[in-house]
Amino acid sequence: MLSDLDYLNDTLVPRTSAQTQPARETRGSGPVSAQDAVQSVNGDAMAATDNLSSMLDQSNLSSSDRALLAPLLADLQSSNAEIETLNEGDLDLTAAELNARLDKLNDVVDQLDGKLDSLLASLDGMGDELAQSLQRNQENA
């Protein structure tokens, strides 16, 4: 699946055979640290945005097309700035925050599950009472 940047890149400028080669060598199949992953994402995002920006400058797009793409490019560049500030500690913090939220959600689900069980038990009791009441009414009629 193509990323948004790859899609724009392919749409704006056809690739030559040299451009179809991988941008970086693949690493071994061993585990990748969070820091390596962040650095890889940072580098890829910066290169793709820079490449897209230069392609837009060299393309034969109309000024209205460029005006439409300018906010998208600005948004992508600001996203890259946010990604650049990410480090392994931020990833750990984010994971800790997500785990805390999941724990809270699990507590809420447990409480709701208990309330639902209580409600179902009450409904069963009311159903039994209603059935007995109907049976008595039929016997008396």
- Residue-level pLDDT at 48: 61
One domain for residues 99 and 42 = no
One domain for residues 127 and 59 = no
One domain for residues 2 and 44 = yes
One domain for residues 72 and 104 = no
One domain for residues 102 and 112 = yes
What is the spatial distance between Cα 48 and Cα 25, in angstroms, rounded to a whole number?
16
Q: What domain range includes position 44? A: 1-14+34-86
What is the spatial distance between Cα 42 and Cα 79, in angstroms, rounded to a whole number?
10
- Residue-level pLDDT at 17: 43
CB 46 within 8 A of CB 88: no
The residue from 47, 64, 86 where one domain ends is 86
pLDDT tens, position by position, 53-73: 666 666 666 777 777 777 777
What is the spatial distance between Cα 61 and Cα 94, in angstroms, rounded to a whole number?
41
Number of domains in the chain: 2
The residue from 86, 104, 121 where one domain ends is 86
pLDDT tens, position by position, 72-123: 777 776 666 666 566 666 667 778 888 888 888 888 888 888 888 888 888 8
In a domain, 28, yes or no: no
For the cut 90, the answer to whether the pLDDT of residue 132 exceeds it is yes
CA 23: distance to chain centroid?
A: 25
Mention every residue, 6+ apart, whose C-beta is less than 8 A from residue 49: 5, 73, 76, 77, 80
pLDDT tens, position by position, 29-55: 555 555 565 556 556 655 665 666 666
The structure's pTM equals 0.33
Q: What's the angle, vertex CA 42, arms to CA 38 and CA 44, rounded to 5?
A: 115
In a domain, 25, yes or no: no
